[in-house]
Structure 1
Amino acid sequence: MYRHILAATDGTPFARHAVEHAVGLARALGARLSIVTVTEPFHVFSLEVQQLEDTRTQYEAHAREWADRALNDAAALARAQGVSHDLVQVESDRPYQAIMDAAADRDCDLIVMASHGRRGLAAMILGSETLKVLTHSKVPVLVIRPGGAEPWQALT
Structure 2
Amino acid sequence: MSRRIVLVAAVARNGVIGRGPDIPWHVPGEQTAFKHLTMGHVLVMGRTTYESIGRPLPGRETIVLTRDPAWSPGHDAVHVARDLDDALVQATRLPGEIVVAGGASVYAAAMPLATEQVISEIPLEPEGDVFYPDFDRHHWKETRRDELEGFDRVWLRRR
| Alignment TM class, shorter chain as reference | 0.3 to 0.5
State the TM-score, normalized to the length of structure 2: 0.36
Larger % of strand: which? 2
Larger % of helix: which? 1
State the TM-score, normalized to the length of structure 1: 0.37
